[in-house]
Chain A
Amino acid sequence: MTSCGEVRLLLGPFDDGELEPNEMEDVAFHVVGCGECKAALEDYRALGVALRSVVTVPPLDNFAQAVTARLAPRRIPVGARVAQWWNSIGRLASVIEFAGVAAATAVLTLLIAGPDVRKFVTHRAENTAVSFKAGATTPARPVQAIASAGPGVANTNRNVAAADGKLAAADVNLANVDDQGKIEAASDLQEIVSELGAGHSPSVAVWNEPRTDTTVVWVPDQR
């Protein structure tokens, strides 16, 4: 860009810092080497100074009060504002009241029906053999059904039964496990159940038995 005509168009934006960086650079280089364009740029700057000195606004006394006076008729009266505030408080109070009633109802329900609910759950736990194989979606099968799965398994379940029926466990599919594995698994299971039954255990225990590919769930005796 070397033409003075082109540069003159950009002198104002150049002085205002409104050009792209490459344009700023081009104009700056041109102005340094061109007296006429440099003089035009100085004129623009002088014009800015002159305009700022000419256009002055006198002190705006009472302007804000005049605006306030014009806004006054548009403002909501104090009474209406208080009513709005009271209504909003009322809505909030309704929400709080509803939440309180709901919480109280829940607490009362638990207090009154709690023992029955606990009894129902306990009864269900005693009569249900919770058993499931890892990854399987079949419903739980009773312990009696598991007992008929084979000699090794029957042995295991007898041992479990000896632990006061505390073990509600195992879709124990040992069909593909060798005898040694069955014996070891049954022995370990018995040991674990004995330990759990001894009272050093949590309320519910779940673990995997890798040799039988089984998830075992132990539920304490509720009786």
Chain B
Amino acid sequence: MLVERYQHRVVRVAMAVVHNLDDALELAQETFVRAYENLAKFESRSSLSTWLYRIAANLAIDFRRREGRHTVLRGEEGEIELNRLPSERGNSFAETARNELNQRLNKALKELTPEHRAVILLREVEGLSYDEIGDILQCPRGTVMSRLHYARNRLRGILKDVDKD
């Protein structure tokens, strides 16, 4: 089924923008509903997956605009969801360091604008090309490059600080 095939990536695309699992799930459901309603308008200029991600990204960006561009995430939900890592029992030094890194990365991701966060997560987590990202977020390739450069440098600083500590 189409939903089962693309659900994870659609949720992650939405999450890349809204940075909250509950909102991302809601937006992902809405994405499939919109896709179903507009299937007749789908043109094979882009792949079906890109079309779905674009719907998800547009819905998420609209959602963010409605909520306010830099709204602080509600409570700790965002961090809780993003920290769902497979962890071993015990509290080893490595695990502590990893948790600290995750917390800092989450904090840094939250501080990015939705556009910067979406670009770096679509690239690093989803592995999409610059053209695909530009297609989904409807911005030029040069904008994708500059946003990526900015986001990487911001997050790189976090990593270096953790290494120093």
Q: Quick one: given A63-B7, A63-B29, are A50 and B15 in contact (CB under 8 Å)? A: no
The answer to whether A55 has its CB under 8 Å from any CB of chain B is yes
Cross-chain contact of A13 among B29, B36, B130 (Cβ < 8 A) = B130
Chain A residue contacts of B25, Cβ below 8 A: 60, 63
| Stretch in contact with the other chain, from B42-50, B57-65, B66-74, B78-86 | B78-86
| A46 nearest in chain B by CB position | B159
Q: Quick one: given A51-B121, A55-B121, A57-B15, are A70 and B29 in contact (CB under 8 Å)? A: yes
Interface residues of A in 1-29 (CB under 8 A from B): 9, 12-13, 16, 18
Cross-chain contact of A44 among B8, B83, B156 (Cβ < 8 A) = B156
CA distance A40 to B4 in the complex (A): 39
Chain A residue contacts of B149, Cβ below 8 A: 9, 12
The answer to whether A52 has its CB under 8 Å from any CB of chain B is yes
Chain B interfacial residues counted at CB < 8 A: 43
A57 touches B152 (CB 8 A): no
Chain A interfacial residues counted at CB < 8 A: 29
**Mask: chain A, 38-62; 1 = CB below 8 Å from B; 0 = not:** 0010011011101111111110100
CA distance A209 to B11 in the complex (A): 85
Q: Quick one: given A12-B149, A64-B7, are A51 and B125 in contact (CB under 8 Å)? A: yes
Interface residues of B in 72-96 (CB under 8 A from A): 81-85
The answer to whether A124 has its CB under 8 Å from any CB of chain B is no
B125 touches A50 (CB 8 A): no
The answer to whether A71 has its CB under 8 Å from any CB of chain B is yes
The answer to whether A128 has its CB under 8 Å from any CB of chain B is no
The answer to whether A223 has its CB under 8 Å from any CB of chain B is no
The answer to whether B1 has its CB under 8 Å from any CB of chain A is yes
Smallest Cβ distance from B146 to chain A, in angstroms? Answer: 9
B33 touches A12 (CB 8 A): no
B159 touches A43 (CB 8 A): yes
A16 touches B81 (CB 8 A): no
A50 touches B7 (CB 8 A): no
Chain B interface mostly helix, strand, loop or mixed? helix
> How many contacting A-B pairs (Cβ < 8 A)?
96
B33 touches A16 (CB 8 A): no
A12 touches B82 (CB 8 A): no
Chain B residue contacts of A67, Cβ below 8 A: 3, 7, 29, 32-33
Interface residues of B in 90-128 (CB under 8 A from A): 98, 101-102, 105-106, 109, 120-121, 123-125
Chain B residue contacts of A64, Cβ below 8 A: 1, 3-4, 7
| A58 nearest in chain B by CB position | B84
| A69 nearest in chain B by CB position | B29
CA distance A47 to B109 in the complex (A): 12
**Can you list 14 A-B contacts with CB-CB less than 8 angstroms, sorted by A residue number?**
A9-B149, A18-B145, A43-B156, A47-B155, A50-B102, A51-B120, A51-B125, A52-B124, A54-B85, A55-B82, A57-B8, A58-B84, A63-B29, A70-B33
Given contacts A50-B159, A71-B32, 20 further A-B contacts (CB under 8 A): A9-B149, A13-B145, A16-B129, A16-B130, A18-B129, A18-B145, A44-B156, A47-B124, A47-B155, A47-B159, A48-B124, A51-B105, A52-B125, A53-B85, A54-B105, A55-B16, A56-B85, A60-B25, A63-B11, A67-B29
Interface residues of A (CB under 8 A from B): 9, 12-13, 16, 18, 40, 43-44, 46-48, 50-58, 60, 63-64, 66-68, 70-71, 74
Task: Sort A-B residue pairs by CB-CB distance and give the 9 closest, nearest first.
Answer: A48-B124, A64-B3, A51-B124, A67-B32, A43-B156, A67-B3, A55-B125, A18-B130, A64-B4
